[in-house]
Structure 1
């Protein structure tokens, strides 16, 4: 009985001596610095290769590696030192579209604390056009319009509207954030199987514009992202700075805690020898 009590005391002392410490580890990262003169291939680390689908209807649609020197509406999401970003255009007669797909390889978001980051920026968007991105289960990219297949979360701007919108398990949500040509940087954090936190930052000065929690739509892990430009018409849409991080929590003994444990063990040893 006395041995059990002493064991419990020792365990309690060790517990008091430890605290939890979270470490964020980046497991996938890419930006436009990693590309020569075309937005193609598989730059960076931890992602699958890019896949593109375009529908030029009676106009034009496509992707390119954009540079600030040649694009007046590319401002604050360009990568240093190249001043590049991933560009897309969809304009002219008819409804023109371009979609860029990327799988997360072995780095799908499935655990609490998994984080996805992306930046995007755009100019004016014509009525009915839209730009944005979708986080999806699986990575379906067979036909134009597959961008929201197996969608779990979507963020974008619809031409004719006033604010950026979220599409999730609650439906369509008006964020109240008005259009900006300064660009946005977004951090998406998985809180549970079906809950998330979204932090929206101004790309100009990294100030936090809004932080909100929400309910994911659909089911399953988040395995890919789809970036889209659906007939924005009046200007290009730009994307950059993809990354995925894991949050790992470990119990780390504190120096003061070690001293507390040693004192406690010494006291128990002294009691045993002196039979108190």
Structure 2
């Protein structure tokens, strides 16, 4: 690989325009994927959230069902107590003992009523939670189906483009190594600040590609001479002449055609 110090200005312009063409091709590949990776990630998060919610609801359901069993056991105990105290009333010696046992019976009956009320409320809560679990299950199944579809879309695109993207990413690194640090830093800065990622553009019909501002004839001559690197004062992009751009596009098209 050539040393950056040995490169002429023309070689630098060719290298940086080639880098632009490669990076633009990588951008195209990634644009084909579009928002799919993010969509898949979001769906995975939603599926995880719904699964956690379902498990939590099932756990709450189990707790309530256990509480109902406890309350039913308590009711049986209270009923046994009522029988016991009622039986004891048959052999009391005075009214005070009878009244005391009557109060115990009343207390046990109140406890039974309270437990039955609580069981009724808990059963209503169970029905509500079962509805929530069913709804959550439906949502989860729908999201899982959607996720499966989106993953298969993404996998198909990845299988078509991953090899080319990997190859081009390696080529991009090779061309970056040809370009001096300062120029490469400028390229990356410009590229990150423009929406279409074009940091290097050619002259098209007397203006920089994608710009409506005409470049003065003298500047066009300087660009065509390839003696120095010039920046478009309006767009801030690095400029190359049409002939050089066409030559490099043809060269890069042959590279891209291998895929």
Question: Shared fold by TM > 0.5?
Answer: no
TM-score, structure 1 length as denominator?
0.22
TM-score, structure 2 length as denominator?
0.23
Mark the structure with the bigger radius of gyration.
2
Structure 1 or 2: more helix by fraction: 2
Structure 1 or 2: more strand by fraction: 1
Answer 1 or 2: higher relative contact order, Cα 8 Å, separation at least 6: 2
